[in-house]
Amino acid sequence: MELGRKIADLRNNVNMSQQTLAELLFVSRDLVSKWENGSRRPDYTTIEKLAAIFRVSADEIVSKNDVTFKELAECVDDETELTEEELAGLLNGFLAGLTEKEADIFMKRYYFLMSAPEIASEYRLRDNHVRSILSKTRKKLKRYVREALN
């Protein structure tokens, strides 16, 4: 089942409004709506909070791997077919071109599956700063892959 539909179903099953859910999570009702209609995706930390609110396991909502790897999947065009060896070579080349901090944050997120808040805590940064670093690094990866394959 699609993530947004799952969140909406869980919320509706307990007769909760989007506004109430938003208040429990300290986010806007508009953001909850975007999650439910699929235009935005909550991060895994938020998934864990949703699971606690609805008293289900986070894996019943979505797999941690699915959330994390969806972020990376957006860096490679759907038509691109790579072997594991080719992908590993691309990633190694990409990581070699990053600063040590960028590469470490990237690996913590996408290899060790740490959440942005966990990484932020380790580096003594704000969550938003880590999210920004990850977003910029994914954009660099997308450009790197595009250039490497052309």
Find the CATH number of the domain harbouring 28: 1.10.260.40
Here the tokens at position 82 are: 């790579």
Q: Which domain covers residue 140, as residue numbers?
A: 68-149
pTM: predicted TM-score of the whole model, two decimal places: 0.63
**% of the chain with per-residue pLDDT over 70:** 99
Locate 81 and state its tokens.
Answer: 């077919």
Q: Give whichever of 30-34, 57-61, 113-117, 143-147 has the largest mean pLDDT.
A: 30-34
| Residues 58 and 74 placed together within one structural domain of the fold | no
The pLDDT tens digits for 48-96 are: 899 999 999 988 998 877 777 777 777 887 777 878 788 888 889 999 9
Mean of the per-residue pLDDT values of the chain:
89
**98, 107 in Cβ contact below 8 A?**
no
Q: What is the CATH number of the domain that holds 114?
A: 1.10.10.10
